[in-house]
Amino acid sequence: DTGVSQDPRHKITKRGQNVTFRCDPISEHNRLYWYRQTLGQGPEFLTYFQNEAQLEKSRLLSDRFSAERPKGSFSTLEIQRTEQGDSAMYLCASPPGLPNHGELFFGEGSRLTVL
Amino acid sequence: SQELEQSPQSLIVQEGKNLTINCTSSKTLYGLYWYKQKYGEGLIFLMMLQKGGEEKSHEKITAKLDEKKQQSSLHITASQPSHAGIYLCGALTHGSSNTGKLIFGQGTTLQVKP
């Protein structure tokens, strides 16, 4: 258990529906990352928060995707009008300190299946 | 082409055998991380390497960083079925070292036959 919690672990939805994933990082970690991983590939960076500020967004994050971290604690990732291509594992991670120092703790992930 | 290439993509070894997984970056490395992942689960941190020539070990797993070649290798000695899984390397490169954003390789799937 890395201390990073993600919910739900699995989500099956129909194309066109909206879904929201939640990440609860280790409480004192001020940086938070979202990644997406498709079958047979490594995780791909989606977005990064420093406290409540979203500092970087990947081009992978289309207009249908929105991420928030309202109080600098938990974060949500919402996908609107889901498409089959959105089917993937969505991973949240938080590190303990400065960039390039120490581990990056990952949650267990939220697996999305879009039918 | 991939910014971070892992080889081989998959590996099947007999229990007790040694094996090596390689990770090569097309950009200057500022930090190299190794993770293990079981299918459908999150990533478990194994080791982080920062300095050229650095070598770290954890139980029967050893990782080395060759900064000049922009390469890292992960070596498992006397493999066991518990070593089976997907091994991923992640790198901090120029432009990401300030944010801590990791770029990942595509992963190496390891099967260990009892």
Return the beta strands (E) in A18-74 as ranges.
19-24, 31-37, 44-50, 53-57, 65-68
What are the DSSP E strand ranges found in chain B? Answer: 4-7, 10-14, 19-25, 29-37, 43-49, 55-58, 61-66, 71-76, 85-93, 103-104, 108-113
Task: Provide the pLDDT for residue A111.
Answer: 97
Contact B23, B76 (CB under 8 A): no
Inform me whether the pLDDT recorded for A41 exceeds 80: yes
Cβ contacts from A onto B, under 8 A: 75
Using CA atoms, how far apart are residues A46 and A34, in angstroms rounded to an integer? Answer: 5
For A10-104, where are the alpha helices, taking DSSP H only? Answer: none
For A96-108, how does the pLDDT look when each residue is reduced to its tens digit (9 = 90+)?
Answer: 666 556 678 899 9
**Contact: A100, B92; criterion CB under 8 Å:** yes
pLDDT exceeds 60 at position B1: no
* Confidence tier at B31 by pLDDT (50, 70, 90): confident
Determine what percent of chain A is predicted with pLDDT higher than 70: 90
Give the β-pairing of A110-114 and A10-13. Answer: parallel
Give the integer Cα–Cα distance in Å for A65 and B16.
Answer: 46
DSSP B32: E
Token pair belonging to B80: 């066991």
Residue A96 confidence (pLDDT)? 66
Chain segment B65-94, per-residue pLDDT in tens: 998 889 999 999 999 999 999 999 999 887
Give chain B positions within 8 Å (CB) of A43: 43, 88, 90, 102, 104
Residue A101 has a pLDDT of: 60
Q: pLDDT tens digit string along A48-76?
A: 998 899 999 998 888 999 999 988 889 99
Nearest Cβ partner for B41 among A4, A105, A109 = A109
